[in-house]
């Protein structure tokens, strides 16, 4: 494939935008080469500025469950935009989306809309600190909760790709209140809790991780976290920016049968537009301003365009829950096909999958946490990524990212993906 225009656009972008991109993973630093500039997308396909058609496995990093430019979502946004794009005042559609979202998820009474997953997680931690009167939090190595200072302590995804998980600009004062644990290591968490007895406001976790590849928690680990938080008066925060409304109507809380105290959302809840949200039971949410002392605000929070896209998306998912099973079956089919090809090529690999999230790791050891994820052969991954790209398949340009399937993908697309892998010399 030819990418002359994408390369020229990247060269131009670097003159005016740091690194030529507005989010670091897009720069292809982890895989080499120049990033692809997208012109348009429809269904399961991306169309770049050079006219190439690509099968898409990132779905804008998760939200486009039903595919790109899904007609009901586009129509809802266009219709709403004709009445104005932003007011900084309440609108009825905010309540409509809140009511629907709360009806779909277990254990949540109220929700506050914000503008990104970062903002949702940042606000959730502030709320937890205000509610408990405690300062410290525990996060897990390789879990990414946005680029707020509190979270850039060995984060996954882009932070790992660039080799600076403890980002310059994060103060020691901020870092000391963020304690780091290993995913799937309950004993390690218990040690941290005991060493900081009575000081912890919250434990925040991706309940199914997506920023060190797709990492699935053990049942004992997740149940143990819930029991520990209950015993110690610590709030358990589920970062469901990726998993919320993707794995099931009720997200990870539903599929894992674990009740969190606060849940953060993003991605899907905006149908592809910038949005985030956090939810909790009434006694916690009532600590937020204007009812309570914990301040959080935003001019664009509850933006009518994002709310209309989210309402259209969640309405379809609520009315057609079979989409979750359809996506899971497609992910399983892709998993089996990739595994068969890599086994036949005698390439060491691990494939992790949960629902419509999946990741391929070039290692012979099980991938259960950040450390085991980091052992993957990155040189093999680069060959894999570029080999697939040359054959019209767009994968996440980092070994530390989950794939996100969309239901517009056909089994012909999945077969084309598997056949593309057969042609690559790894």
Q: Mind telling me the catalytic residues?
A: 144, 239, 267
Max CA separation in the chain (angstroms): 61
Is the distance from CB of 195 to CB of 180 less than 8 angstroms? no
DSSP letter for each residue of 122-173: HHHHHHHHHHHT--EEEEETT----SSGGG-SS--THHHHTT-SS-TT--HH
Is the distance from CB of 272 to CB of 60 less than 8 angstroms? yes
Q: Where do the H-state alpha helices sit in 320-369? A: 322-344
The token pair that represents 56 in the structure block? 């898409």
Using DSSP, state whether 31 is helix, strand or coil.
coil
Is the distance from CB of 288 to CB of 269 less than 8 angstroms? no
Q: Please state whether beta strands 45-48 and 110-114 pair in parallel, antiparallel, or not at all (unpaired).
A: unpaired
Is the distance from CB of 384 to CB of 360 less than 8 angstroms? yes
Using CA atoms, how far apart are residues 361 and 378, in angstroms rounded to an integer?
9
Is the distance from CB of 368 to CB of 220 less than 8 angstroms? no
Using CA atoms, how far apart are residues 32 and 399, in angstroms rounded to an integer?
12
């Amino acid at each position: 494939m030819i990418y002359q225009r994408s390369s020229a656009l990247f060269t131009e972008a670097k003159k005016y935008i740091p690194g030529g991109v507005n989010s670091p993973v897009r720069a292809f630093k982890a895989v080499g080469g120049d990033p692809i500039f997208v012109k348009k997308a429809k269904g399961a396909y991306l169309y770049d500025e050079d006219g190439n058609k690509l099968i898409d496995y990132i779905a804008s990093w998760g939200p486009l469950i039903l595919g790109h430019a899904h007609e009901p979502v586009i129509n809802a946004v266009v219709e709403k935009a004709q009445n104005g794009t932003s007011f900084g005042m309440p609108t009825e559609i905010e309540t409509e989306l809140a009511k629907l979202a709360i009806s779909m998820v277990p254990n949540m009474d109220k929700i506050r809309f914000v503008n990104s997953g970062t903002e949702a997680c940042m606000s959730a931690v502030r709320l937890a600190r205000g509610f408990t009167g405690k300062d410290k939090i525990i996060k897990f190595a390789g879990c990414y909760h946005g680029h707020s200072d509190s979270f850039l302590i060995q984060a996954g995804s882009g932070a790992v790709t660039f080799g600076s998980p403890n980002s310059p600009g994060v103060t020691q004062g901020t870092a000391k209140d963020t304690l780091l644990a290993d995913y799937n290591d309950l004993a390690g968490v218990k040690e941290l809790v005991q060493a900081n007895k009575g000081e912890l406001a919250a434990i925040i976790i991706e309940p199914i991780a997506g920023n060190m590849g797709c990492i699935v928690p053990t049942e004992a680990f997740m149940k143990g976290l819930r029991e520990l938080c209950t015993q110690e008066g610590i709030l358990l925060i589920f970062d469901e920016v990726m998993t919320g409304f993707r794995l099931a109507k009720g997200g990870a809380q539903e599929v894992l049968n674990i009740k969190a105290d606060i849940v953060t959302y993003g991605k899907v809840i905006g149908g592809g537009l910038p949005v985030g949200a956090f939810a909790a039971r009434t006694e916690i949410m009532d600590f937020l301003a204007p009812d309570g002392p914990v301040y959080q605000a935003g001019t664009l929070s509850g933006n009518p365009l994002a709310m209309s896209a989210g309402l259209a998306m969640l309405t379809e998912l609520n009315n057609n829950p079979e989409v979750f099973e359809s996506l899971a079956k497609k992910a399983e089919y892709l998993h089996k096909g990739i595994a068969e090809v890599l086994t036949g090529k005698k390439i060491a690999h691990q494939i992790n999958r949960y629902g419509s999230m999946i990741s391929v790791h070039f290692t012979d050891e099980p991938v259960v946490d950040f450390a085991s994820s980091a052992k993957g052969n990155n040189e093999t991954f680069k060959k894999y990524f570029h080999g697939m790209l040359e054959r019209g398949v767009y994968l996440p340009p980092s070994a530390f990212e989950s794939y996100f399937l969309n239901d517009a993908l056909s089994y012909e697309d999945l077969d084309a993906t598997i056949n593309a892998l057969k042609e690559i010399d790894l």
